[in-house]
Structure 1
Amino acid sequence: MTIWPDPERKLIARYIAGLDLRTKNSPIYYRQALNIFQDVAERHAKLDKDMLVAWLHVSPGRWATTTRLHRTRIIDRFLDHLEEIGAIERNPVAALREACNIKQCMPVWRALASSDPDSALAELYQPRPFGSVLGKMMAEHVTLMRNRGYKYTAQAVRLWRLDRFLQLNPELQDQPLEVMLEHWSAAKTTRNHPNECEKLKRVLAKILRHKDPSLPPRRPDPSPEKEVARHWRKPHIYTPADVRRMLDIARSYPSPRAPLRPSSIYTMLLLSYCAGLRRSELARLDLGDVDFQGGTITIRQTKFHKTRILPLPDSVLDELRSYTQARRRAGGSLDPRSGLFWHEQRGDRYTKEAVAWLLVDVIRRAGLKPPRGRTGPRLHDLRHSMVVNRILEWYEAGINPQDRLPFLATYLGHRDINSTLVYITVTQDLLHHANERFRVLGVPCLNIGPEGRA
């Protein structure tokens, strides 16, 4: 039984009183938006899509578009509250979101605010995962592989894309699997799509052989993957001078509202280059992961389910020590489980997206990457540069890099040495040192004596 709208509007008053609003004017804005919403609701028999559209048509005369979208968030949270306390049976926005099979409410509000809400909502519809004729078989395989301990994320995404394509093309549901895959291969013209189709065919062949072991194994086709690899963008190798310039820019990064941020960016960049850390590893670092006594930093459960303890140079430890002191003075939590890179305004750790944006912005400010776009050197190239510059140092010190590559692979968190070999980009300096080493070690072998010639 619904008890809203209530004529005395006590529910609105209680709801606003229970909110932890930051400014004095916020309750006024909330009360205004909710009262207008109830005025429209009282003129409709049901709390449904038509009522929401009517409120949105009333709103443009009062608020700008951006303000109206902000008010929809207020309304959405209020409807969730009414459903939670039993004042209404169902939040109509949540019901529309579930009907469209999407996760966010804002696209629903934008569709309702359009000139044709029904068509806009129809365009929002997303097929449910594994709802096609092959869906049950694919879902069972994903569950089986995950129960065996595999993450099985990329493979599941490929299967879901095919499943979604089949649901949006119901005329293919009764066709043989070969015909389905043929249409899926022709559905996109992107460069990577043939490689994705080849990987999908391998997974489907595995599923079918698991169900029927008498089927012959499928011979993989390596040509699509080779074609994609041929177009890979070559990594940019930052020179030590480039890294020093980026560190100087990070230390002086403009941030008047967050004084700790320049020091945070500087330390992130330092660990990214000196320790070869990924952006996700930087974001997941805890304060307790840094061991100043042992001179190490612990990277926990990252890619390939690995945890590794990395020794750090004394200079990097000194910078980390200075950063943690500045972090403490800025009011950062002293809990060892709190984020090492602490955000002053949010009171929480930086996300991996924020880490990537800040470090890429430093690369742009250093003039190494265009002001906008995805062209130019990447953040991940710092790991490539760390590998190449480390091998150059080994060459200059007279150390055989081949003997040290297994240690470097472990330091970077790779599964094996083959993953590390991908990071070795042949630069002119590296080629010069390799040629010189071959000349010193190989030329004596070519000096054949008279007895050898006889």
Structure 2
Amino acid sequence: MKTEAIDRNPVTALRQACNIKQCMPVWRALASRNPEKALAELRQPRPFGSVLGAVLAEHVALMRNRGYKYTSQSARLLRFDRFLQLNPALQEQPIGVILDHWTAAKSTRNHAAECENLRRVLTKIFHRQDPSTPFRRPDPRPQKEVVKQWRKPHIHSPDDVRRMLDIARSYPSPRAPLRPLTIYTMLVLAYCAGLRRGELARLDLGDVDLQDGTITVRQTKFFKTRILPLPNSVVVELRAYIKARRRAGASQDPCSGLFWHGQGRTRRYTPEMVTWLLSDIMRRAELKPRQGRTGPRVHDLRHSMVVNRILEWYEAGINPQDRLPFLATYLGHRDINSTLVYITVTQDLLHHANERFRTVGAPCLDLGREVRS
């Protein structure tokens, strides 16, 4: 029997030809009064399809082969490549002229910093192709302008954290009884272990070792995996959550998500959902406005953990400088330079640092007077 089947879905072929991800816009274009014009408007430039596309794609592949994720940098190069394809007259111009037009395309601070970053990357690419190409001196001013508009971290006090934990335990969730305890445990790990939101979402049940009192955080930033020892109080809370999780009927497969819910295919919380839930706790605790993106962020719990830990070291008479390498390892940083970004100078921290300097420096001043006399 002969069938009149076609080899390929024509809508899928049109979607690929237009270089878009969804078929619904193609259906809408076909159903419009002028399908040809609608399809032409849908058409998007191909990734790395400009005159510099092959060079940029080769650079991205090289950096990823070296072990870098290179996600955000690749997105910047794709935006530049798209700009070139939408302005074909520029593709025959010298690279300096192209970059000047790209810089003038937007007047925002972030775009100026992105353009400076692109100039640095292109210089590296051209120098690799031709070692005689001189390196250009980077201009730090655009990035400094971007830093000025960054929000400063909000350092939560221990009382703030207690208030958030109390609100999490009583979080209204009649259709998901496990959710209050889930949010509570998320908060405990976000603050006590300094976990990022993505690290919370990616935790598996098998990553928790209640016998040794550790959790394994796998393949996070910089492709690192680390095993974190936890205080006994945190282990107690984790044990209680895992028992409640089992009673709720969650999967006991070690590869299943630690923070489980009974809906969806993956049945684990996404990083976006973790952010929404913890932000809602901050709003209910009146630490963050009811609407908008202003106020403390979820990542500020990690900042707060660092500052409050250093304060505890000062109060215990421990020199924080000796403990910073251990703290950097615990947070998953490559060195203490990344950890120093988290040390926000608060009034309490400044007071303890001044007291320690006075205690150490006062005898030196007295010794100097004796030498002069």
Normalised TM-score (structure 1): 0.78
Shift of 1:292: 0.9
Mapping 1:30-41, distance limit 5 Å: none
Q: Deviations over 1:388-418 (max 9, x none)?
A: 0101111111111111111111000111100
Is the 2:204–2:255 Cα contact (8 Å) retained in structure 1? yes
Mapping 1:374-393, distance limit 5 Å: 374-393=293-312
User: For residues 285 and 171 of structure 1, what CA distance do their matches in structure 2 show?
Assistant: 50
1:413 maps to 2:313? no
- Name the stretch that deviates more: 444-453 or 173-182: 444-453
- Name the stretch that deviates more: 347-356 or 283-292: 347-356
Shift of 1:111: 4.5
Residues 295 and 198 of structure 1, relative CA distance in 2, 3 Å threshold: same
Aligned length: 372
Q: Deviations over 1:287-315 (max 9, x none)?
A: 01111111111101110111111011111
Is the 1:260–1:344 Cα contact (8 Å) retained in structure 2? no
Residues 444 and 260 of structure 1, relative CA distance in 2, 3 Å threshold: same
1:403 maps to 2:325? no
Return the match for 1:101 from 9, 19, 26.
Answer: 19
User: For residues 163 and 41 of structure 2, what CA distance do their matches in structure 1 show?
Assistant: 48
1:165 maps to 2:78? no
User: For residues 64 and 110 of structure 2, what CA distance do their matches in structure 1 show?
Assistant: 26
Shift of 1:322: 0.5
4+ residue segments displaced more than 6 Å: none
1:315 maps to 2:243? no
Look up the match of 2:193: 275
SS of 1:435 mapped into structure 2: helix
Look up the match of 1:302: 220
Shift of 1:165: 0.2
User: For residues 172 and 295 of structure 1, what CA distance do their matches in structure 2 show?
Assistant: 60
Return the match for 2:281 from 350, 362, 385.
Answer: 362
Is the 1:129–1:164 Cα contact (8 Å) retained in structure 2? yes
Return the match for 1:247 from 146, 165, 175.
Answer: 165
Shift of 1:344: 1.5
1:442 maps to 2:354? no
Mapping 1:193-342, distance limit 5 Å: 193-342=111-260
Shift of 1:158: 1.7
SS of 2:67 mapped into structure 1: coil
Identity over aligned pairs, percent:
77
SS of 2:288 mapped into structure 1: coil
Look up the match of 2:110: 192
Structure with the bigger RCO (C-alpha within 8 Å, sep 6+) is 2
1:353 maps to 2:272? yes
Q: Deviations over 1:349-381 (max 9, x none)?
A: 111111111111111121111122111110100
User: For residues 243 and 45 of structure 2, what CA distance do their matches in structure 1 show?
Assistant: 51
Return the match for 1:423 from 342, 345, 349.
Answer: 342
Look up the match of 1:11: none
> What amino acid is aligned across from residue 307 of structure 1 in structure 2?
T
Is the 1:237–1:385 Cα contact (8 Å) retained in structure 2? yes
User: For residues 450 and 288 of structure 1, what CA distance do their matches in structure 2 show?
Assistant: 62
Gaps of 5+ in 2: none
> What amino acid is aligned across from residue 401 of structure 1 in structure 2?
P
Q: Deviations over 1:65-96 (max 9, x none)?
A: xxxxxxxxxxxxxxxxxxxxxx4443333233
Residues 270 and 112 of structure 1, relative CA distance in 2, 3 Å threshold: farther
Is the 2:328–2:335 Cα contact (8 Å) retained in structure 1? yes
User: For residues 375 and 163 of structure 1, what CA distance do their matches in structure 2 show?
Assistant: 33
Normalised TM-score (structure 2): 0.95
Shift of 1:113: 5.8
Mapping 1:54-93, distance limit 5 Å: 87-93=5-11
Alignment RMSD: 1.9
Is the 1:3–1:88 Cα contact (8 Å) retained in structure 2? no
> What amino acid is aligned across from residue 92 of structure 2 in structure 1?
D
Gaps of 5+ in 1: 5-86
Is the 2:109–2:142 Cα contact (8 Å) retained in structure 1? no
Q: Deviations over 1:166-219 (max 9, x none)?
A: 000111011000000000001112221111111111110011011111111221
